[in-house]
Chain A
Amino acid sequence: MKTSIFKTLAFAGTALVIGLSSCGNGGDKTTDANAANDADKQILGAGATFPYPLYSKMFSEYGKTSGIQTNYQSIGSGGGVKQIMNKTVDFGASDAFLSDADIAAMPAPVVEFPTCLGADVISYNLPGNPELKLTPEIIAGIFLRNITKWNDKKIAAENPGVSLPDMDISVAHRTDGSGTTFIFTDYLSKISDDWKTKIGAGKSVNWPEGELGGKGNEGVAGMIKQTPGTIGYIELAYAIQNNMSYAQVKNAAGNYIKPTIQSTSLCANGDIPADTRISITNSNVDQAYPISSFTWIILYKEQNYNNRSKDKATNLVKELWWMIHEGQAQTAPLNYAPLPPKAVTAAEAVLKSITFGGQPILQ
C-alpha cells in the first residue's frame, strides 16, 4: 500500500499548495490578470515512466524559448490514463494505446498520438560475450521454457562459430508492470501461437514457472550481470547506456537486425491508421528491429472543458506539435528512436483535429 499512500499524500500536498496559492491570488486583485496568464502557461501531464527522461528534456528545452512550464509526473501509464479520465491533467501518457474499453470509459472523446519509439533488447550473460543471433522461434522457446540449455541445437544452428556452453538458461523478466513487458509479450503473442494461448500480452503476465522477476530495468540487468547463463529483456536505451550485450533478432522479412535507434524507428515506417492505435511489433519493414513500439500522449479532442481558456489549449497543442517536430532532435542523444516521416504525418493529422469550442486550434 505504500505507493498509494504516497500518492494520496502527494495529491493532498498538491491540492494544499494549489489551494494556498489560489488564496494568495484571490487576495490581490491587481495580479489576477497576470495570474490567469501564468496559469495558461502551466501545462500538467502525467503517465508513462518509459519516456520520462525524454519528456523532461523536451519540456525544459521548449520552456526556454516559449516560457511554457510543463510539469510531467511519471506515475505510470495506468495512472496517466486514469488522470486524463478524471480530467486532473492536461495530457496523459501511456506506453500502450487505449483499449476500446478505456475509450468507452472516457467522459468525452479523446485523441492519442505517438511521440517516439522504444525497443526491447534481449540481453544475456555468456562466457566471452558472443553476439548471438536469435529467431522468433528460439526467443519464444526460451521464454516458454521449452529451450532450457544454451547449447540447444536450435540456438547452435543459427550461431555457427559461436561456442555455446553446456549451461542451463535462466530467464529473467520485468516484474513491475511496464510498457517494456507489454512490448515484449505483444511481440511474442504475434510470433508464437503457443505464447498467445498460454500467456498472452500485457504489462504483467502469468510467466511460466521457474522464471525470475527483477524490479525495473536495473533489477533485470542486475540479475543478468550477476548470474552467467541468464537471459532477459531490457529497454534499448538502458542496454546502450550500460554496455550490455544483446542479440540480433530475425525480423518478419527474414533479416537479422541489430537493435539500434535507426532500426527501431524503421518499425513505424509502415502504414499508420488515422487514430494511430497500432501495435508495430513484428513489423514487416525490411530493415526494422521487430521488438519495438510507440509511446503515446492522450488528450481530449474538445479542449473547452473545466473552464479552460483558449490560450491554455493553444499553448498545449503548440507544445505537442513542437514535440513531434523540433522536439524529435532530443530523442537520439537520449537513445530514444525518433518518429519516422509516416508516423509524424499521422500525428500531425491527430493534432489538427483538436478543437476549442468546435473550432480547430491549429489553423
Chain B
Amino acid sequence: MKNRWRVLENKIFVRWLSIVSIITMILLLVFFLTLLISSWPAIKANGFGFLWGKTWDPVANHFGMLPFLVGTLITSFLSLLISAPFSIAAALFLGEYYPKGLVPNIFRNVIELLAAIPSVVYGFWGLYTVAPLVSKIEMKLHMPAPGVGIFTASIVLSIMLIPYSVSLIRQVISMTPTSLKEAAYALGSTRAEVITKVIIPTNISGISAGFLLSLGRALGETMAVTILIGNSPEIPHNIFSPSYTMASVIANEFTEAVGNIYLSTLIEVGLLLFVVTTIINIIGRMIIKKVSY
C-alpha cells in the first residue's frame, strides 16, 4: 500500500514538472509570436532595409536600426570584457583559495548584493560619479568630453555583470574534483599552475556559461545604459562616442510613440533583440560544447 502510494506520488511529481516546463516553453513561444504579430505592420512598411538603415526619424516614419544593433553589441561585449578578469579573480578567491570562513562569506554576500542594487541607481551613480572621471580622460585625449558614451556605459554595466558571473563560476570552481588537483600537486605543480592548467580547463564550460549568463543580462539591460550611453543613434567612431542600444530606444520612445507604424517599429526592435539574444545564446552554447572536455 505504502509502495503504491509512493509510485503514484512520483508519477504526479513528474507530471507536474513536465507541465510546468512545457508552460515555460509555450510562454516563450507565445511571447515570440506576439512580438511577430505586433511588429508585422512595421516589417511590411520598413522592409529589409530596416536592418542596415542608419536613420531613425520618427517624424518622417523612416526607420533603420543598425546604430542600435551596433551599440547593443559593443556595450555588451565591452562590458563582458571589462568584467571578465574581475569575475574570474573573485570566483577563484572564493571558490579555490578561501571557500569557507567569515571574511569570504561576507565578501561573497557583498558581491551578490551588487545584483540587488536597482539599475536606476547604477545609472545615476554612473552619471554623477563615473561620467565626470571619463570626461577628464576625454579632455586629456583632446576629444569632445561629454563623459557619457559607450565607455562609461560599459564600465558601469561591467560592475552590474560581476555578481552574475561570479556566483556561477565560483560554484563550478569549488566543485573541481579534489583528485585532479591532488594529482597535479603530486606532480610538483605550483598553485598557479594548478589554477591555469587544471581548474580553469576542467571548468571551462561552466566558466563560459557564467559569462554567457552575464552577457544575456548585458544585452537586455535598459535603465542604467539609457542614462549613460548618450542616446545618439549614430555608428560610433570610437569607444568614447555616444551610442544607443535596442533596449534603450524601446524604453525611451515606447510610452509616447503615437502612430501605428512607429509603435510597431519599436516592437520590431524588441523582436530583433529577442532574435539577436537567441542567436548569441546558440553560438555561446556551441562554443561551450567545443571547448569543454
Residues of A that sit less than 8 Å from B by CB: 1-4, 49, 75-79, 81, 99, 101-102, 168, 170, 175-179, 199-207, 209-215, 218-219, 222-223, 226-227, 230
**One of B106-114, B123-131, B199-207 at the interface:** B123-131
In the bound complex, CA of A99 to CA of B226 (Å)? 29
Within 8 A of A (CB), among B44-59: 55-59
Specify which chain A residues have a CB less than 8 angstroms from the CB of B135 in the assembled complex.
226-227
In the complex, the chain B residue whose C-beta lies closest to that of A101 is B259
Q: Measured between C-beta atoms, what is the minimum distance from A234 to chain B in Å?
A: 15
Which residues of B are found within 8 Å of A200, using beta-carbon distances?
Answer: 59-60
> How long is the Cα–Cα vector from A348 to B127 in the complex, in angstroms?
45
0 or 1 for each of B98-128: is its CB under 8 Å from A? (1 = yes): 0000000000000000000000000010011
Report whether B257 and A78 are in contact in the complex, using a CB–CB cutoff of 8 Å.
yes
Known A78-B256, A212-B231, A226-B146; further 7 A-B contacts with Cβ < 8 A: A79-B255, A175-B248, A203-B258, A206-B233, A210-B232, A213-B242, A226-B131
Contact A226 B127, CB 8 Å, known A176-B255, A212-B242: yes
Residue of B nearest to A4 (CB): B254
A176 to B147, CA, bound (A): 19
Give the interface size bracket for B toward A.
Answer: 35 or more
B232 with A204: CB separation less than 8 A: no
Interface centre among B35, B60, B231, B247 (most CB of A within 10 A): B231
Q: Which residues of A contact B59 (CB under 8 A)?
A: 199-202, 205-206
B248 → A minimal CB distance (Å): 8
C-alpha spacing A362/B248, complex, angstroms: 46
Interfacial chain A residues near B252, Cβ < 8 Å: 175-177, 204, 213, 215
* Interfacial chain A residues near B247, Cβ < 8 Å: 1-2
Contact of A214 among B132, B222, B231 (CB under 8 A): B231
Question: CA–CA, A4 to B251, complex, Å?
Answer: 9
- A177-B257, A200-B60, A205-B58 known; A227 and B232 CB under 8 Å? no
Cα distance A222–B135 when bound, in Å? 13
Of A201, A212, A215, the most chain B CB neighbours within 10 A belong to A215
Contact with A along B75-111 (1 / 0, CB 8 A): 0000000000000000000000000000000000000
Which A residues are CB-close (under 8 A) to B263?
78
Known interface pairs A1-B250, A214-B231, A226-B131; A204-B256 also in contact (CB < 8 Å): yes
B146 touches A176 (CB 8 A): no
Across-interface contacts of A175 in B (CB, < 8 A) = 226, 231, 248, 252
Question: A209 CA to B256 CA in the complex, in Å?
Answer: 22
- How far, in whole Å, are A202 and B251 apart by their CA atoms in the complex? 17
- Name 19 A/B residue pairs within 8 A (Cβ), A-sorted: A1-B35, A1-B274, A2-B251, A3-B251, A78-B263, A176-B251, A177-B253, A202-B59, A204-B253, A206-B62, A207-B232, A210-B234, A212-B146, A213-B230, A213-B244, A222-B128, A226-B128, A226-B135, A226-B146
Q: Does B227 contact A (CB under 8 A)?
A: yes
Q: Determine the residue in chain B with the shortest Cβ distance to A5.
A: B31
A226 to chain B, nearest CB (A): 5
B188 at the binding interface (Cβ < 8 Å) = no
Q: Could you mark each residue 125-160 of chain B with 1 if its beta carbon is under 8 Å from any beta carbon of chain A, else 0?
A: 001100110010000000011111000000000000
Assembled-state Cα–Cα distance A223/B57 (Å): 23
Bound-complex Cα distance A2 to B254 (A): 10
Inter-chain CA distance A204–B262, complex, in Å, is: 11
Question: Whose C-beta in chain A lies nearest to the C-beta of B135?
Answer: A227
Least CB distance from A9 to B in Å reads 13
Q: Decide: B250 and A3 in contact? CB cutoff 8 A.
A: yes
- In the complex, are the beta carbons of A222 and B256 less than 8 A apart? no
- What separation, in Å, do the CA atoms of A2 and B124 have in the docked complex? 19
Task: Kindly provide the distance from the CB of A263 to the nearest chain B CB, expressed in whole angstroms.
Answer: 26
